[in-house]
Amino acid sequence: MNQTILYIEDNPDNMRLVERALESRGYQFLGAVDGEEGLQAAEDHRPALILLDINLPDIDGYEVARRLRAMKTLLYVPIIAITANALKPDAEKALAAGCDVYMVKPINIRELWARVEAYLPGSSIPNESPAPSPL
Amino acid sequence: MSSLLTGLECTDSGEKYNPQQVQTYCPVCQAPLISRYDLEAGRRTLDREQFRRRPKGMWRWFELLPVQDPANIVSLGEGDAPLLKVSRLQEALGLKHLFVKDESFNPTFSFKARGLSAAISKAKELGIEKVIIPTAGNAGGAMAAYAARAGLRAHIFMPNDTPHANVEESRIAGATVTLIAGLISEAAGMAGEKARLENWFDVSTFKEPYRVEGKKVMGYELAEAFEWDLPEVIVYPTGGGTGLIGMWKAFAELEALGWLNGKKRPRMVVVQADGCAPVVRAFEAGATFCDFWLNARTIASGLRVPKSFADQWILRVLAESAGTAIAVSDEEILQAQRELAVAEGIFAAPEGAATLAGLKKLVGSGWIRPDERIVLFNTGAGLKYLK
Protein backbone atom coordinates (compact mmCIF):
# COMPACT_ATOMS: atom_id res chain seq x y z
CA MET A 1 0.00 0.00 0.00
CA ASN A 2 0.90 3.63 -0.42
CA GLN A 3 3.57 3.03 -3.00
CA THR A 4 4.60 6.22 -4.72
CA ILE A 5 3.89 6.71 -8.40
CA LEU A 6 5.59 9.56 -10.24
CA TYR A 7 3.80 11.13 -13.21
CA ILE A 8 5.91 13.35 -15.44
CA GLU A 9 3.42 15.40 -17.48
CA ASP A 10 3.10 19.06 -18.49
CA ASN A 11 -0.66 19.00 -19.16
CA PRO A 12 -2.46 20.04 -15.95
CA ASP A 13 -5.76 18.40 -16.95
CA ASN A 14 -4.08 15.03 -17.43
CA MET A 15 -2.13 15.52 -14.24
CA ARG A 16 -5.29 16.13 -12.19
CA LEU A 17 -7.15 13.24 -13.82
CA VAL A 18 -4.40 10.71 -13.13
CA GLU A 19 -3.72 12.07 -9.64
CA ARG A 20 -7.37 11.62 -8.69
CA ALA A 21 -7.51 8.17 -10.25
CA LEU A 22 -4.38 6.87 -8.53
CA GLU A 23 -5.11 8.38 -5.13
CA SER A 24 -8.56 6.81 -5.23
CA ARG A 25 -6.79 3.44 -5.30
CA GLY A 26 -4.49 4.26 -2.39
CA TYR A 27 -1.31 5.15 -4.25
CA GLN A 28 0.90 8.04 -3.20
CA PHE A 29 1.00 10.45 -6.12
CA LEU A 30 3.92 12.61 -7.10
CA GLY A 31 3.76 14.98 -10.08
CA ALA A 32 6.50 16.65 -12.11
CA VAL A 33 5.76 19.13 -14.91
CA ASP A 34 8.83 18.65 -17.09
CA GLY A 35 11.69 16.28 -17.71
CA GLU A 36 14.30 17.87 -15.48
CA GLU A 37 11.87 18.12 -12.56
CA GLY A 38 10.83 14.54 -13.18
CA LEU A 39 14.42 13.27 -13.12
CA GLN A 40 15.08 15.12 -9.90
CA ALA A 41 11.87 13.82 -8.32
CA ALA A 42 12.73 10.28 -9.36
CA GLU A 43 16.17 10.51 -7.83
CA ASP A 44 14.87 12.07 -4.62
CA HIS A 45 11.81 9.88 -4.04
CA ARG A 46 12.63 6.57 -5.78
CA PRO A 47 9.05 5.91 -6.89
CA ALA A 48 7.71 2.39 -7.32
CA LEU A 49 6.51 3.20 -10.84
CA ILE A 50 6.84 6.08 -13.28
CA LEU A 51 4.26 7.34 -15.77
CA LEU A 52 6.07 9.30 -18.43
CA ASP A 53 4.54 11.63 -21.00
CA ILE A 54 6.67 11.61 -24.13
CA ASN A 55 5.95 15.16 -25.29
CA LEU A 56 7.52 17.27 -22.57
CA PRO A 57 8.45 20.95 -22.87
CA ASP A 58 12.16 20.70 -22.03
CA ILE A 59 13.68 17.31 -22.78
CA ASP A 60 11.59 14.66 -24.49
CA GLY A 61 10.36 11.55 -22.75
CA TYR A 62 12.80 9.26 -24.57
CA GLU A 63 15.74 11.14 -23.12
CA VAL A 64 14.09 11.14 -19.70
CA ALA A 65 13.65 7.36 -19.93
CA ARG A 66 17.27 6.86 -20.94
CA ARG A 67 18.50 8.98 -18.04
CA LEU A 68 16.22 7.21 -15.61
CA ARG A 69 17.59 3.87 -16.73
CA ALA A 70 21.10 5.19 -16.24
CA MET A 71 20.40 5.71 -12.53
CA LYS A 72 21.31 2.51 -10.71
CA THR A 73 18.54 2.97 -8.16
CA LEU A 74 15.90 3.20 -10.89
CA LEU A 75 17.13 0.52 -13.21
CA TYR A 76 14.21 -1.82 -12.52
CA VAL A 77 11.44 0.71 -11.83
CA PRO A 78 8.61 0.14 -14.31
CA ILE A 79 8.11 3.04 -16.72
CA ILE A 80 4.81 3.41 -18.58
CA ALA A 81 5.18 5.75 -21.56
CA ILE A 82 2.14 7.87 -22.39
CA THR A 83 1.66 9.96 -25.50
CA ALA A 84 -0.99 11.73 -27.50
CA ASN A 85 0.50 10.48 -30.76
CA ALA A 86 -0.18 6.86 -31.54
CA LEU A 87 2.86 6.84 -33.77
CA LYS A 88 4.62 3.56 -34.32
CA PRO A 89 8.09 5.15 -34.26
CA ASP A 90 7.14 6.86 -30.99
CA ALA A 91 6.18 3.55 -29.45
CA GLU A 92 9.31 1.82 -30.68
CA LYS A 93 11.52 4.67 -29.50
CA ALA A 94 9.85 4.66 -26.09
CA LEU A 95 10.44 0.94 -25.66
CA ALA A 96 13.99 1.23 -26.96
CA ALA A 97 14.68 4.06 -24.49
CA GLY A 98 13.80 1.80 -21.60
CA CYS A 99 10.05 2.16 -21.12
CA ASP A 100 8.22 -1.08 -20.31
CA VAL A 101 4.92 -0.41 -22.02
CA TYR A 102 3.23 2.21 -24.14
CA MET A 103 -0.17 3.83 -23.62
CA VAL A 104 -2.02 6.24 -25.89
CA LYS A 105 -4.12 9.18 -24.72
CA PRO A 106 -6.91 9.54 -23.82
CA ILE A 107 -5.86 7.42 -20.86
CA ASN A 108 -8.64 5.05 -19.94
CA ILE A 109 -8.57 5.01 -16.17
CA ARG A 110 -9.63 1.41 -15.75
CA GLU A 111 -6.83 0.34 -18.07
CA LEU A 112 -4.36 2.53 -16.18
CA TRP A 113 -5.36 0.91 -12.89
CA ALA A 114 -4.94 -2.53 -14.42
CA ARG A 115 -1.52 -1.74 -15.85
CA VAL A 116 -0.28 -0.23 -12.60
CA GLU A 117 -1.64 -3.16 -10.60
CA ALA A 118 0.15 -5.54 -12.98
CA TYR A 119 3.48 -3.94 -12.07
CA LEU A 120 2.70 -3.37 -8.40
CA PRO A 121 0.54 -6.35 -7.47
CA GLY A 122 -1.33 -6.11 -4.20
CA SER A 123 -0.40 -2.48 -3.76
CA SER A 124 -3.74 -0.82 -4.37
CA ILE A 125 -7.06 -0.64 -2.59
CA PRO A 126 -9.08 -3.50 -4.11
CA ASN A 127 -11.44 -2.36 -6.82
CA GLU A 128 -14.87 -2.47 -5.22
CA SER A 129 -16.63 -1.43 -8.38
CA PRO A 130 -15.66 -3.62 -11.30
CA ALA A 131 -16.92 -2.28 -14.58
CA PRO A 132 -20.63 -2.99 -14.88
CA SER A 133 -21.75 -4.55 -18.10
CA PRO A 134 -22.74 -1.50 -20.10
CA LEU A 135 -25.42 -3.39 -21.97
CA MET B 1 -43.32 9.45 -33.04
CA SER B 2 -40.61 10.42 -30.55
CA SER B 3 -37.28 9.01 -29.48
CA LEU B 4 -37.19 7.11 -26.18
CA LEU B 5 -33.67 8.37 -25.50
CA THR B 6 -33.31 9.22 -21.82
CA GLY B 7 -29.63 9.91 -21.38
CA LEU B 8 -26.01 8.96 -21.83
CA GLU B 9 -23.96 6.86 -19.43
CA CYS B 10 -20.26 6.21 -19.00
CA THR B 11 -19.53 2.59 -19.91
CA ASP B 12 -17.07 2.36 -17.02
CA SER B 13 -18.65 4.20 -14.09
CA GLY B 14 -22.29 4.59 -15.14
CA GLU B 15 -21.99 8.36 -14.64
CA LYS B 16 -24.87 10.17 -16.38
CA TYR B 17 -24.49 12.77 -19.13
CA ASN B 18 -27.03 15.02 -20.83
CA PRO B 19 -27.71 14.14 -24.48
CA GLN B 20 -29.16 17.61 -25.11
CA GLN B 21 -25.61 18.91 -24.86
CA VAL B 22 -22.62 18.08 -27.04
CA GLN B 23 -20.83 15.10 -25.51
CA THR B 24 -17.75 13.16 -26.48
CA TYR B 25 -16.57 10.52 -24.00
CA CYS B 26 -16.51 10.38 -20.21
CA PRO B 27 -14.02 13.03 -19.09
CA VAL B 28 -13.39 11.27 -15.78
CA CYS B 29 -12.92 7.63 -16.83
CA GLN B 30 -11.98 8.50 -20.43
CA ALA B 31 -14.29 5.72 -21.58
CA PRO B 32 -17.05 5.70 -24.24
CA LEU B 33 -20.57 6.89 -23.48
CA ILE B 34 -23.63 4.79 -24.22
CA SER B 35 -27.17 5.93 -25.07
CA ARG B 36 -29.95 4.80 -22.79
CA TYR B 37 -33.63 4.56 -23.74
CA ASP B 38 -36.82 4.18 -21.77
CA LEU B 39 -37.31 0.58 -22.79
CA GLU B 40 -39.98 0.04 -20.16
CA ALA B 41 -42.09 2.63 -21.97
CA GLY B 42 -41.12 0.98 -25.23
CA ARG B 43 -42.33 -2.36 -23.95
CA ARG B 44 -45.72 -0.83 -23.22
CA THR B 45 -46.14 1.36 -26.29
CA LEU B 46 -44.20 -0.15 -29.17
CA ASP B 47 -45.16 -3.14 -31.28
CA ARG B 48 -42.29 -4.86 -33.09
CA GLU B 49 -44.48 -5.49 -36.12
CA GLN B 50 -45.15 -1.79 -36.65
CA PHE B 51 -41.51 -1.33 -37.64
CA ARG B 52 -41.82 -3.94 -40.37
CA ARG B 53 -44.63 -1.98 -41.99
CA ARG B 54 -42.72 1.29 -42.20
CA PRO B 55 -40.72 2.37 -45.27
CA LYS B 56 -37.41 0.52 -45.43
CA GLY B 57 -34.29 2.02 -43.92
CA MET B 58 -32.45 2.56 -40.67
CA TRP B 59 -34.66 5.39 -39.47
CA ARG B 60 -37.80 3.24 -39.32
CA TRP B 61 -36.45 2.41 -35.83
CA PHE B 62 -36.70 6.09 -34.90
CA GLU B 63 -38.00 5.58 -31.36
CA LEU B 64 -34.89 3.55 -30.55
CA LEU B 65 -32.45 6.05 -32.06
CA PRO B 66 -31.03 9.18 -30.43
CA VAL B 67 -32.40 11.98 -32.62
CA GLN B 68 -35.26 13.88 -30.96
CA ASP B 69 -36.70 15.77 -33.93
CA PRO B 70 -37.26 13.82 -37.18
CA ALA B 71 -36.50 17.03 -39.09
CA ASN B 72 -32.86 16.59 -38.07
CA ILE B 73 -32.47 13.18 -39.69
CA VAL B 74 -29.74 13.20 -42.31
CA SER B 75 -30.37 10.20 -44.52
CA LEU B 76 -29.18 8.87 -47.84
CA GLY B 77 -31.28 5.71 -47.63
CA GLU B 78 -29.04 3.67 -45.33
CA GLY B 79 -30.08 0.46 -43.63
CA ASP B 80 -31.95 -2.72 -44.55
CA ALA B 81 -29.03 -4.13 -46.47
CA PRO B 82 -29.97 -7.59 -47.76
CA LEU B 83 -29.46 -10.78 -45.81
CA LEU B 84 -28.44 -13.29 -48.45
CA LYS B 85 -28.61 -17.02 -48.06
CA VAL B 86 -25.38 -18.35 -49.58
CA SER B 87 -26.31 -21.91 -50.46
CA ARG B 88 -23.33 -22.80 -52.61
CA LEU B 89 -20.80 -21.71 -50.01
CA GLN B 90 -22.87 -23.33 -47.31
CA GLU B 91 -22.80 -26.64 -49.14
CA ALA B 92 -19.07 -26.38 -49.79
CA LEU B 93 -18.45 -25.88 -46.08
CA GLY B 94 -20.82 -28.63 -44.98
CA LEU B 95 -23.18 -26.16 -43.28
CA LYS B 96 -26.95 -25.91 -43.33
CA HIS B 97 -27.75 -22.25 -42.65
CA LEU B 98 -25.18 -19.75 -43.87
CA PHE B 99 -26.01 -16.11 -44.61
CA VAL B 100 -24.21 -12.95 -45.65
CA LYS B 101 -25.48 -9.58 -44.48
CA ASP B 102 -24.30 -7.51 -47.42
CA GLU B 103 -23.67 -4.02 -46.14
CA SER B 104 -22.19 -2.89 -49.45
CA PHE B 105 -25.76 -1.93 -50.38
CA ASN B 106 -25.58 1.08 -48.09
CA PRO B 107 -24.94 4.64 -49.33
CA THR B 108 -21.21 5.13 -49.98
CA PHE B 109 -21.16 1.34 -50.37
CA SER B 110 -20.29 0.42 -46.80
CA PHE B 111 -21.72 -0.13 -43.33
CA LYS B 112 -20.11 3.11 -42.21
CA ALA B 113 -23.12 4.94 -43.63
CA ARG B 114 -25.25 3.74 -40.73
CA GLY B 115 -23.05 5.14 -37.99
CA LEU B 116 -22.36 8.38 -39.78
CA SER B 117 -26.03 8.95 -40.56
CA ALA B 118 -26.77 8.72 -36.84
CA ALA B 119 -23.77 10.79 -35.75
CA ILE B 120 -24.25 13.57 -38.31
CA SER B 121 -27.99 13.71 -37.62
CA LYS B 122 -27.33 14.17 -33.92
CA ALA B 123 -24.56 16.68 -34.64
CA LYS B 124 -27.02 18.68 -36.72
CA GLU B 125 -29.58 18.52 -33.93
CA LEU B 126 -27.00 19.83 -31.46
CA GLY B 127 -26.02 22.73 -33.71
CA ILE B 128 -22.54 21.45 -34.58
CA GLU B 129 -21.19 23.07 -37.74
CA LYS B 130 -17.90 21.32 -38.47
CA VAL B 131 -16.90 17.71 -38.06
CA ILE B 132 -13.57 15.93 -38.19
CA ILE B 133 -12.66 12.26 -38.41
CA PRO B 134 -9.64 10.00 -38.62
CA THR B 135 -10.36 7.03 -40.83
CA ALA B 136 -8.82 3.97 -42.37
CA GLY B 137 -11.09 4.47 -45.35
CA ASN B 138 -14.83 4.04 -45.63
CA ALA B 139 -15.81 6.14 -42.62
CA GLY B 140 -14.25 9.16 -44.28
CA GLY B 141 -16.32 8.80 -47.43
CA ALA B 142 -19.45 8.27 -45.40
CA MET B 143 -18.81 11.26 -43.17
CA ALA B 144 -18.09 13.48 -46.16
CA ALA B 145 -21.36 12.47 -47.81
CA TYR B 146 -23.54 12.93 -44.73
CA ALA B 147 -21.80 16.17 -43.75
CA ALA B 148 -22.44 17.49 -47.25
CA ARG B 149 -26.10 16.54 -47.03
CA ALA B 150 -26.36 18.26 -43.64
CA GLY B 151 -24.47 21.36 -44.77
CA LEU B 152 -21.62 20.79 -42.31
CA ARG B 153 -17.92 21.37 -42.96
CA ALA B 154 -15.87 18.19 -42.94
CA HIS B 155 -12.18 17.49 -42.43
CA ILE B 156 -10.80 13.97 -42.82
CA PHE B 157 -7.43 12.52 -41.82
CA MET B 158 -6.48 9.35 -43.68
CA PRO B 159 -3.37 7.20 -43.99
CA ASN B 160 -1.77 7.90 -47.38
CA ASP B 161 -2.28 4.29 -48.46
CA THR B 162 -6.05 4.49 -47.94
CA PRO B 163 -7.91 3.11 -50.99
CA HIS B 164 -8.13 5.77 -53.70
CA ALA B 165 -11.94 5.56 -53.83
CA ASN B 166 -12.16 6.70 -50.20
CA VAL B 167 -10.01 9.73 -50.89
CA GLU B 168 -11.93 10.72 -54.01
CA GLU B 169 -15.41 10.16 -52.58
CA SER B 170 -14.46 12.39 -49.65
CA ARG B 171 -13.03 15.15 -51.78
CA ILE B 172 -15.88 15.21 -54.26
CA ALA B 173 -18.31 15.68 -51.37
CA GLY B 174 -16.42 18.81 -50.41
CA ALA B 175 -14.43 17.51 -47.45
CA THR B 176 -10.89 18.64 -46.77
CA VAL B 177 -8.70 15.54 -46.86
CA THR B 178 -5.33 15.34 -45.14
CA LEU B 179 -3.27 12.28 -46.06
CA ILE B 180 -0.69 11.23 -43.51
CA ALA B 181 2.24 8.84 -43.52
CA GLY B 182 0.97 6.50 -40.83
CA LEU B 183 -1.95 4.49 -39.51
CA ILE B 184 -5.45 5.42 -38.35
CA SER B 185 -4.15 5.71 -34.80
CA GLU B 186 -1.77 8.41 -35.94
CA ALA B 187 -4.54 10.07 -37.92
CA ALA B 188 -6.58 9.99 -34.72
CA GLY B 189 -3.89 11.84 -32.84
CA MET B 190 -3.73 14.56 -35.50
CA ALA B 191 -7.50 14.86 -35.83
CA GLY B 192 -7.88 15.06 -32.07
CA GLU B 193 -5.31 17.81 -31.87
CA LYS B 194 -6.97 19.84 -34.62
CA ALA B 195 -10.35 19.31 -33.00
CA ARG B 196 -9.02 20.60 -29.70
CA LEU B 197 -7.26 23.63 -31.15
CA GLU B 198 -9.91 24.70 -33.68
CA ASN B 199 -13.10 23.45 -32.05
CA TRP B 200 -14.01 20.81 -34.62
CA PHE B 201 -16.32 18.06 -33.41
CA ASP B 202 -14.41 14.77 -33.41
CA VAL B 203 -16.51 11.92 -34.82
CA SER B 204 -13.85 9.27 -34.14
CA THR B 205 -15.06 5.78 -33.29
CA PHE B 206 -16.52 5.84 -29.77
CA LYS B 207 -15.22 9.33 -29.06
CA GLU B 208 -18.76 10.48 -29.75
CA PRO B 209 -21.74 8.41 -28.56
CA TYR B 210 -23.96 8.03 -31.61
CA ARG B 211 -22.22 6.14 -34.40
CA VAL B 212 -22.80 2.95 -32.44
CA GLU B 213 -26.52 3.75 -32.36
CA GLY B 214 -26.69 3.67 -36.14
CA LYS B 215 -24.69 0.47 -36.28
CA LYS B 216 -26.88 -1.28 -33.71
CA VAL B 217 -29.73 -1.30 -36.21
CA MET B 218 -27.91 -4.15 -37.97
CA GLY B 219 -28.86 -6.17 -34.90
CA TYR B 220 -32.51 -5.12 -35.09
CA GLU B 221 -32.62 -6.05 -38.76
CA LEU B 222 -31.11 -9.46 -38.09
CA ALA B 223 -33.60 -10.15 -35.32
CA GLU B 224 -36.49 -9.19 -37.55
CA ALA B 225 -35.17 -11.21 -40.50
CA PHE B 226 -34.84 -14.31 -38.28
CA GLU B 227 -38.38 -13.78 -36.95
CA TRP B 228 -37.04 -12.59 -33.57
CA ASP B 229 -35.10 -15.80 -32.94
CA LEU B 230 -31.46 -14.73 -33.21
CA PRO B 231 -28.91 -16.78 -35.17
CA GLU B 232 -26.40 -18.86 -33.27
CA VAL B 233 -23.23 -17.23 -34.62
CA ILE B 234 -22.30 -13.80 -36.01
CA VAL B 235 -18.90 -13.46 -37.66
CA TYR B 236 -17.77 -9.87 -37.77
CA PRO B 237 -14.62 -8.13 -39.09
CA THR B 238 -13.43 -5.97 -36.23
CA GLY B 239 -11.38 -2.82 -36.38
CA GLY B 240 -12.91 -0.24 -34.05
CA GLY B 241 -15.67 -2.66 -33.12
CA THR B 242 -18.66 -0.33 -33.43
CA GLY B 243 -20.82 -2.83 -35.26
CA LEU B 244 -20.00 -5.73 -32.95
CA ILE B 245 -20.79 -3.67 -29.87
CA GLY B 246 -23.77 -2.06 -31.53
CA MET B 247 -25.39 -5.38 -32.32
CA TRP B 248 -24.77 -6.68 -28.82
CA LYS B 249 -26.43 -3.55 -27.49
CA ALA B 250 -29.32 -4.07 -29.90
CA PHE B 251 -29.87 -7.61 -28.64
CA ALA B 252 -29.90 -6.38 -25.05
CA GLU B 253 -32.45 -3.72 -25.97
CA LEU B 254 -34.64 -6.21 -27.81
CA GLU B 255 -34.56 -8.48 -24.77
CA ALA B 256 -35.58 -5.56 -22.56
CA LEU B 257 -38.40 -4.76 -24.95
CA GLY B 258 -39.56 -8.37 -24.74
CA TRP B 259 -39.41 -8.80 -28.50
CA LEU B 260 -37.14 -11.81 -28.79
CA ASN B 261 -38.71 -15.23 -29.12
CA GLY B 262 -35.63 -17.19 -28.16
CA LYS B 263 -33.58 -16.59 -25.03
CA LYS B 264 -30.18 -17.33 -26.49
CA ARG B 265 -28.07 -14.61 -28.00
CA PRO B 266 -25.54 -15.28 -30.78
CA ARG B 267 -21.94 -16.17 -30.11
CA MET B 268 -20.02 -13.21 -31.46
CA VAL B 269 -16.86 -13.81 -33.47
CA VAL B 270 -14.21 -11.14 -33.98
CA VAL B 271 -12.18 -11.60 -37.14
CA GLN B 272 -8.98 -9.62 -37.55
CA ALA B 273 -6.02 -9.73 -39.93
CA ASP B 274 -2.96 -11.48 -38.55
CA GLY B 275 -0.97 -8.35 -39.33
CA CYS B 276 -3.10 -6.35 -36.90
CA ALA B 277 -4.89 -8.50 -34.36
CA PRO B 278 -4.89 -6.70 -31.00
CA VAL B 279 -8.27 -8.11 -29.95
CA VAL B 280 -7.27 -11.66 -30.87
CA ARG B 281 -4.06 -11.35 -28.89
CA ALA B 282 -5.84 -9.91 -25.84
CA PHE B 283 -8.63 -12.49 -26.05
CA GLU B 284 -6.17 -15.36 -26.21
CA ALA B 285 -4.26 -13.92 -23.25
CA GLY B 286 -7.44 -13.51 -21.21
CA ALA B 287 -6.76 -9.77 -20.94
CA THR B 288 -9.44 -7.14 -20.32
CA PHE B 289 -7.86 -4.57 -22.64
CA CYS B 290 -5.64 -4.58 -25.70
CA ASP B 291 -2.04 -3.60 -26.09
CA PHE B 292 -1.28 -1.19 -28.87
CA TRP B 293 -0.40 -3.27 -31.97
CA LEU B 294 2.90 -2.13 -33.39
CA ASN B 295 3.63 -2.34 -37.09
CA ALA B 296 0.05 -3.03 -38.22
CA ARG B 297 -0.10 -4.40 -41.75
CA THR B 298 -2.96 -5.82 -43.82
CA ILE B 299 -4.66 -5.26 -47.15
CA ALA B 300 -7.94 -4.91 -45.22
CA SER B 301 -7.53 -1.22 -44.43
CA GLY B 302 -10.56 -1.19 -42.15
CA LEU B 303 -8.85 -3.75 -39.92
CA ARG B 304 -5.68 -1.69 -39.48
CA VAL B 305 -6.73 -0.41 -36.08
CA PRO B 306 -3.84 -0.91 -33.61
CA LYS B 307 -6.05 -0.34 -30.57
CA SER B 308 -9.74 0.46 -30.46
CA PHE B 309 -10.91 3.09 -28.01
CA ALA B 310 -13.58 0.54 -27.04
CA ASP B 311 -11.21 -2.42 -26.69
CA GLN B 312 -12.44 -3.33 -23.21
CA TRP B 313 -16.01 -3.29 -24.42
CA ILE B 314 -15.23 -5.53 -27.41
CA LEU B 315 -13.58 -8.06 -25.11
CA ARG B 316 -16.56 -7.92 -22.78
CA VAL B 317 -18.91 -8.74 -25.67
CA LEU B 318 -16.77 -11.76 -26.51
CA ALA B 319 -16.89 -12.93 -22.90
CA GLU B 320 -20.62 -12.34 -22.46
CA SER B 321 -21.51 -14.03 -25.73
CA ALA B 322 -19.16 -17.02 -25.25
CA GLY B 323 -17.65 -15.88 -28.51
CA THR B 324 -14.16 -16.03 -29.90
CA ALA B 325 -11.57 -14.07 -31.84
CA ILE B 326 -9.62 -15.31 -34.79
CA ALA B 327 -6.91 -13.93 -37.06
CA VAL B 328 -6.58 -14.63 -40.77
CA SER B 329 -3.81 -13.85 -43.22
CA ASP B 330 -4.05 -11.53 -46.20
CA GLU B 331 -3.65 -14.56 -48.48
CA GLU B 332 -6.63 -16.22 -46.81
CA ILE B 333 -8.62 -12.98 -47.19
CA LEU B 334 -7.88 -12.79 -50.91
CA GLN B 335 -8.76 -16.44 -51.37
CA ALA B 336 -12.04 -15.94 -49.52
CA GLN B 337 -12.79 -12.83 -51.58
CA ARG B 338 -12.49 -14.91 -54.74
CA GLU B 339 -14.64 -17.69 -53.30
CA LEU B 340 -17.42 -15.28 -52.34
CA ALA B 341 -17.42 -13.84 -55.84
CA VAL B 342 -17.18 -17.15 -57.70
CA ALA B 343 -19.67 -19.06 -55.57
CA GLU B 344 -22.17 -16.33 -54.80
CA GLY B 345 -21.50 -13.30 -56.98
CA ILE B 346 -20.61 -11.14 -54.00
CA PHE B 347 -17.60 -8.89 -54.58
CA ALA B 348 -16.84 -8.28 -50.91
CA ALA B 349 -14.51 -5.81 -49.32
CA PRO B 350 -11.39 -7.50 -47.92
CA GLU B 351 -12.76 -6.95 -44.41
CA GLY B 352 -15.97 -8.78 -45.36
CA ALA B 353 -14.03 -11.55 -47.07
CA ALA B 354 -12.05 -11.99 -43.86
CA THR B 355 -15.20 -13.31 -42.19
CA LEU B 356 -15.38 -16.20 -44.65
CA ALA B 357 -11.70 -16.94 -44.07
CA GLY B 358 -12.38 -16.95 -40.32
CA LEU B 359 -15.47 -19.11 -40.72
CA LYS B 360 -13.51 -21.78 -42.55
CA LYS B 361 -11.12 -22.03 -39.62
CA LEU B 362 -13.93 -22.21 -37.10
CA VAL B 363 -15.71 -24.93 -39.05
CA GLY B 364 -12.43 -26.81 -39.34
CA SER B 365 -11.84 -26.63 -35.62
CA GLY B 366 -15.37 -27.74 -34.76
CA TRP B 367 -16.16 -24.48 -32.95
CA ILE B 368 -19.12 -24.06 -35.30
CA ARG B 369 -21.58 -26.91 -35.70
CA PRO B 370 -23.02 -27.69 -39.14
CA ASP B 371 -26.64 -27.09 -38.13
CA GLU B 372 -26.10 -23.63 -36.66
CA ARG B 373 -27.40 -20.46 -38.28
CA ILE B 374 -24.39 -18.32 -39.12
CA VAL B 375 -24.25 -14.75 -40.39
CA LEU B 376 -21.15 -13.31 -42.01
CA PHE B 377 -20.89 -9.55 -42.38
CA ASN B 378 -19.65 -8.08 -45.63
CA THR B 379 -19.01 -4.55 -44.52
CA GLY B 380 -18.43 -2.93 -47.90
CA ALA B 381 -17.99 -3.18 -51.65
CA GLY B 382 -14.87 -4.78 -53.08
CA LEU B 383 -15.02 -2.27 -55.92
CA LYS B 384 -13.88 0.50 -53.60
CA TYR B 385 -10.54 -1.24 -53.11
CA LEU B 386 -9.50 -1.46 -56.75
CA LYS B 387 -6.17 0.18 -57.45
Q: ipTM beyond 0.90? A: no
Q: How many CB pairs under 8 A join A and B?
A: 81
Q: 3-state SS of B183-213?
A: CHHHHHHHHHHHHHHHCCEECCCCCCCCHHH
**Has residue B4 been placed in a domain?**
no
**Has residue B8 been placed in a domain?**
no
**Has residue B352 been placed in a domain?**
yes
Q: CA B266 to CA B87: how far, in whole Å?
A: 21
Q: Provide the residue count of chain B.
A: 387
Strands B5-10 and B33-37, by their bridges, are antiparallel
User: What range defines the domain where residue B87 resides?
Assistant: 83-110+210-385
Q: Please compute the mean of the pLDDT values over residues B233-260 and round it to a whole number.
A: 98
Q: Touching check for A110 and chain B: CB below 8 Å? A: yes
- Count of Cβ atoms closer than 10 Å to residue B261 Cβ: 10
Give me the pLDDT at residue B51, please.
97
**Longest CA span, chain B:** 56
Give the chain B residue nearest A106 (alpha carbons). Answer: B30
**Has residue B363 been placed in a domain?**
yes
**Has residue B241 been placed in a domain?**
yes
- Flag whether pLDDT at A123 surpasses 70: no
Provide φ and ψ at B289, rounded to 5°: -150, 165
Confidence of residue A21 (pLDDT cuts 50, 70, 90): very high
Q: What is the CA radius of gyration of chain B?
A: 19
- CB contacts under 8 A, B 130-189 vs A, are 182-183, 185-186, 188-189
For residue B159, the cross-strand partners are: B180
Q: Please compute the mean of the pLDDT values over residues B174-178 and round it to a whole number.
A: 97
Q: Write the Ramachandran bin of A49: left for phi over 0, alpha for psi from -120 to 50, otherwise beta.
A: beta
Residues of chain A contacting residue B288, judged by C-beta atoms under 8 Å apart = 114
CB contact under 8 A, B313 and A134: yes
Q: List pLDDT tens digits, range B328-357.
A: 999 999 999 999 999 999 999 999 999 999
Q: CA B111 to CA B78: how far, in whole Å?
A: 8
Q: Please compute the mean of the pLDDT values over residues B315-329 and round it to a whole number.
A: 98
For chain B, the domain total comes to: 1
Q: How far is A44 from chain B (nearest CA, A)?
A: 30
Long-range Cβ contacts of A86-89 (<8 Å, 24+ apart): A86/B183, A86/B185, A86/B186, A86/B188, A86/B189, A86/B292, A86/B306, A86/B307, A87/B182, A87/B185, A87/B186, A87/B189, A88/B182, A88/B183, A88/B186, A88/B294, A88/B295, A88/B296, A88/B306
Contact B27, B50 (CB under 8 A): no
SS3 B121: helix
Confidence of residue B269 (pLDDT cuts 50, 70, 90): very high
Q: CA B246 to CA B239: how far, in whole Å?
A: 13
Q: Could you tell me the CATH number of the domain that includes residue B265?
A: 3.40.50.1100
- Flag whether pLDDT at A126 surpasses 70: no
Confidence of residue B183 (pLDDT cuts 50, 70, 90): confident
SS3 A6: strand
- Flag whether pLDDT at B252 surpasses 90: yes
**Has residue B21 been placed in a domain?**
no
Q: Touching check for A120 and chain B: CB below 8 Å? A: no
Q: List pLDDT tens digits, range B192-216.
A: 889 989 999 999 999 999 999 999 9
SS3 B380: strand
Q: Please compute the mean of the pLDDT values over residues B116-145 and round it to a whole number.
A: 96
Residues of chain B contacting residue A17, judged by C-beta atoms under 8 Å apart = 27-28, 30
**Has residue B239 been placed in a domain?**
yes
Domains of chain A: 4-119 (3.40.50.2300)
Confidence of residue A112 (pLDDT cuts 50, 70, 90): very high
**Has residue B164 been placed in a domain?**
no
CB contact under 8 A, B312 and A110: yes
Q: Please compute the mean of the pLDDT values over residues A91-104 and round it to a whole number.
A: 91
